[in-house]
Amino acid sequence: MKSIGTGMVGLALAACTPINGSDASGDKGTTEQAAETENAMPVEPIGDIGDGIERPMLQPMSYQEFSGPIEAGAGCSFKTEFDRSPLFVATSEDVADKHGRAAIKLNDTIVVLAHSGMGLTQLEQGGVFTTDALEITIEHPGGEPTSEGEETYFWPATLKILQDEGGTNMYEGKYECGA
């Protein structure tokens, strides 16, 4: 799975070409043909794909980096197939009256976000995590998760990050929850 900001993005382009060389529409004998072309968009080190907008580029985190800013314990993490370490980690007490907290690493800095939901059950559903300048949304199809052992389970998921200063990014991977 690829991050839009870090992978190559293929774009399908359709070109309409009349066979008889006439560009007048409605002429008999005029047929349109569509050709698909993939264009690779170069990604700059700062996440810019040539449009001048810096996209937020998440960095993998170690346990030592995120365990201090957010409480250790039951929670969820987001990983891509390319990263062994998580790009996103969220924890919450298993009570329905406390918001969860999450951590990401952005520009070599650990950023703590608040979850919009309450408790571990809502944390497992994904949702929206925010700071004053960032919004992260975790979406997965729901249903029965795939098990990775007695205490760990996951869903295929998408992580979307929106930065107030402009720029968005999206990652595909898995949202893994458990102890």
Could you read off the pLDDT of 81-130 as tens digits, one per residue?
A: 888 899 999 998 777 677 889 999 998 999 999 998 887 888 999 999 99
Average pLDDT over all residues of the chain: 74
In a domain, 80, yes or no: yes
pLDDT (0 to 100) of residue 22: 35
Higher pLDDT, 54 or 121: 121
CB 115 within 8 A of CB 137: no
Give the whole-number percent of the chain exceeding pLDDT 70. 68
Q: What is the pLDDT of residue 42?
A: 40
Residue 3 lies in a domain: no
> What pLDDT shows up at residue 132?
92
Q: Range of 158's domain?
A: 58-178
CA 179/CA 173 separation, integer angstroms: 19
Could you count the other beta carbons within 10 Å of the beta carbon of residue 26?
5
User: Using an 8 Å Cβ cutoff, are 119 and 92 in contact?
Assistant: yes
Q: Taking residues 135-160, report their average pLDDT.
A: 90
- Confidence band of 2 (pLDDT split at 50, 70, 90): very low
β strands within the chain, DSSP E: 58-59, 75-79, 88-91, 99-106, 109-118, 127-130, 134-139, 146-147, 152-163, 168-178
Q: In whole angstroms, what is the distance from residue 99 CA to residue 1 CA?
A: 30
Q: Are strands 127-130 and 134-139 parallel, antiparallel or unpaired?
A: antiparallel
Count of structural domains within the chain: 1
90 burial class (0-12, 13-18, 19+ CB within 10 angstroms)?
Answer: buried
Residue 130, domain member (yes or no): yes
DSSP state of 170: E
